[in-house]
Amino acid sequence: MAPGEVLQLKIDQVLSEDATGTLVMLELEALGARLVKAELCAQYIDHNILKADHRNGDDHVFLQSACRNFGIWYSRPGNGISHPVHMACFGIPGKTLLGADSHSCAAGSLSMFAMGAGGIEVALAMMGCPLTLVMPKILGVYLEGKLQPWVSAKDIILELLRRYTVKGCWNRVVEYHGPGLESLTAMDRHVIANMGHEMGAITSVFPSDDQVRSFLRQQSREEDFTELSADEGATYDEEEFIDLSELEPMIACPSRPDKVVKVKEIIGRPVSQSYIGSSANPGLRDFSIPARIVGGRYVPDDMSFDINPSSRQVLHELIKSGDLEKLIGAGAHLHDTGCGGCIGMGQAPASGHNSLRTVPRNFPGRSGTKEDQVYLCSPETAAASALTGKISDPRDLGMDYPDFEEPENLMDMRPLMEAPQEIPVKVELRKGPNIKSLPVLGKLLSVITGPVLLKLEDNITTDDIIPAGAEALPLWSNIPELSRHTFSRIDNTFYERAQEIEEDIFLVAGENLGFGSGREHAAITLRFLGVRCVIAKSVTMSYRKNLIDHGILILTLGEIGDYEVFNEGDKLQFFDLTSCTGDNGFLELRNLTKNKTVWLRNELSDREVEIIKFGGRINYINEGGFAH
């Protein structure tokens, strides 16, 4: 396999969570599925657990009925965040995993080949269809040495983000190797693999070694262990080197994960919230170490010290060990086991105040506060800053680094999940009033004519396109209503202006369009509102797939100055869709307003062009009669 070749991968395990899972189940219904065919499929309730009204509860009832109908494991609210729970209950070295959540790549910590994808891709994987992707380059990261006290796994991935930025690992798999791995537990590796997505990587892969064996033994699943590592003398397309002993506490400044500096460079900035939890730091030690830092001390009165346990298993052990008592006694506020404030579902910081968080992302407004100032850091830095009320280097606390040893056994969460029935029974899908069937998307005509409704800058995230948070997230199973929030953080007139357009709609964007979350809602809402073509300098791989799967044509700006040719309101015309032959040629687009012709690159394969012509992947399969 050479970089650039098209591959098809068999997918062994599939996961979805409730924010994206509702569309996955509706897509299974639209595709006429009966029973899933992948080895193991699991549905987790971890995003929409606020239950401010009936909508979240209705989603849970719908998802449980769909799991019973299609033969999928169902994890109830309170069991925890999908990624660490799946790792504990079902992760197996050497298996492939596809998830309807961009941080599904965290399973690379168990030597799985795991990645996130849009809902249609996930639904097809559940049905047994292979995943198509382009063979990536492999970045080998050699680790040596051992982390110093007060430095942990979050500092490793923040250092890599400092070096590579949010787009430095596009179409790459990051493979970690070297003697430095010996001291990194499976959950340490989870932290690193989880945030590999923030560098643009397809996924991250760790070897399956004694640390992985210890983790599986802790979960009473040692029989699932298989030793896996790179061959002796293996080479990589690109290489990186990190001496763990030289790392210091790191922190990402607002409002992007790659704005990384050493903590000591910004000490003293006031902090009003310190937040510990999320899929990025979900391990027991990520809560126990902070508990032992703050134990016997008190956070200031004006400090919001928020604790989001990542799983029922972790919460159980924190209670058992007495560490939860230390956190509560210091003034911590305990929240639900789930994603919570990471995606703006509660725990929003006060306006004009700094928030330190152990979450994976700090995009503007993602916390639920529009003008937020969120920093990403390790649990050690978060705990130290919670005590002092200002950004603090944990090495300056004047105490010894707390002792911590992983317990031999942890609570088995599988009895608290609903397994697929041995003898399948067809179950009616229970749809509450907020759950709407997928909108019917029409085919794409050869001639596309209409205005540029919005011109976007570089690094527009899927959060910018469709926000999460307590206001919008309950609508993720209702595309017509959710579409009202499209681009609401950038231009709150977009929805109304789109409603007034009777022609096709064009969007123009800069580099790295659609990075961050893999939510397909950021594509289907555009298509629902009439967007037929996106013109961009570059589009991330996951967002590109989602746009194509929902029938949106993607054209890539060719010359350096082409971006400046377009303005909002310009009327464009593309009239030669039949020339999209997948040969990376150039295509003609006319700017009717400026009477100019712009030549854009075609980077679509023949198959992708056919999907777009049919109006999306579901039409392509159902009407075209194609298997995948």
> Each residue of 358-374: pLDDT tens digit?
999 999 999 999 889 99
Residues 525-575 have pLDDT tens digits of 999 999 999 999 999 989 999 999 999 999 998 776 789 999 999 999 987
Is the separation of the CB atoms in 181 and 211 below 8 Å?
yes
- Model confidence band, residue 444 (pLDDT cutoffs 50, 70, 90): confident
CA 118 – CA 121 distance, rounded (Å): 6
Per-residue confidence (pLDDT) for residue 628, from 0 to 100:
45
Reply yes or no on whether the pLDDT at 122 is more than 50: yes
At 42-82, the pLDDT tens digits run: 999 999 888 888 989 999 999 999 999 999 999 999 999 99
Count of beta carbons in the 10 Å neighbourhood of residue 178: 17
**CATH class assigned to 250-397:** alpha beta
Mean pLDDT (the chain, rounded) = 94
Q: Is the peptide bond before 311 cis (omega within 30 degrees of 0)?
A: no
Mean pLDDT over 459-480 rounds to 92
298-357 per-position pLDDT tens digit: 999 999 999 999 999 999 999 999 999 999 999 999 999 999 889 888 899 999 999 999
Give the model's pLDDT for residue 560. 66
- Per-domain residue ranges for the chain? 250-397, 448-622
C-alpha angle 542-339-46 in degrees, rounded to nearest 5: 85
- Per the CB < 8 A criterion, the answer to whether 535 and 588 are in contact is no
Cα–Cα dist 44/223, whole Å: 24
Instruction: For residue 287, give the amino acid letter.
Output: F
pLDDT at 580: 67
State which H helix or E strand residue 175 sits in: strand 172-177
Contact 140, 177 (CB under 8 A): yes
Does pLDDT of 626 surpass 70? Answer: no
Query: 515: helix, coil or strand?
Result: strand
List the Cα angle 403/406/407 in 5-degree steps.
120
- Strands 40-44, 13-17: pairing is parallel
Give the separation between CA 241 and CA 224, rounded to whole angstroms: 31
Exposed/middle/buried for residue 436 (C-beta within 10 Å: 0-12, 13-18, 19+): middle
Backbone angles phi, psi at 137, to 5 degrees: -80, 155
Six token digits for residue 304: 């919001």
User: From the CB of residue 67, how many other CB atoms can be counted at a distance below 10 Å?
Assistant: 26
What does DSSP assign to residue 453? E
For 578-606, write each residue's pLDDT tens digit: 666 555 577 888 999 999 988 888 888 88
Q: What pLDDT is recorded for position 583?
A: 55
**Could you tell me which residues come within 8 angstroms of residue 279 by beta carbon, excluding any fewer than 6 positions away?**
81, 82, 83, 84, 103, 106, 194, 310, 339, 342, 360
pLDDT at 627 over 80: no
Q: In what order do the strands lie in the sheet with 304-308?
A: 260-262, 250-252, 373-377, 354-357, 273-277, 304-308, 333-334
Torsion sign across C-alpha atoms 464, 466, 469, 472? positive
Tell me which DSSP letter residue 408 carries. Answer: S
CATH homologous superfamily for the domain 448-622: Aconitase, domain 4 (3.20.19.10)
- Find the mean pLDDT for residues 166-192: 96
Q: pLDDT by residue (tens digit) across 7-18?
A: 999 999 999 999
Measured CA to CA in angstroms, residue 473 lies from 22, 52, 110, 438, 463 at distances of 12, 11, 30, 17, 11
DSSP 553-600: EEEEE-STTHHHH--TT-EEEE--GGG--SS--EEEEEETTTTEEEEE
Q: Is 292:402 a contact under the CB 8 Å cutoff?
A: yes
**Tokens 């992302």 — which residue?**
361
| Of residues 16 and 439, more confidently modeled | 16
Taking the C-alpha atoms of residue 335 and residue 307, their distance in angstroms, rounded to an integer, is: 6
The pLDDT score that the predictor gives to residue 578 is 66
Query: What is the rounded end-to-end Cα distance, in angstroms, of the chain?
Result: 22
What the block records as the tokens of 299 is 């956070």
Residues 177 and 139: beta-carbon distance below 8 Å = no
Evaluated on CA atoms 380, 384, 390, 395, the torsion sign reads: negative
Separation of alpha carbons 171 and 3, rounded Å: 9
Positive/negative CA dihedral, 189, 319, 88, 82:
negative
Mean pLDDT confidence for 97-115: 97
Q: How many CB atoms lie within 10 A of CB 351?
A: 10
pLDDT tens figures, 132-172: 988 999 999 999 999 999 999 999 999 999 999 999 998 99
Among 454, 599, 620, CA closest to 531:
454
The enclosing H or E element of 140 equals strand 137-144
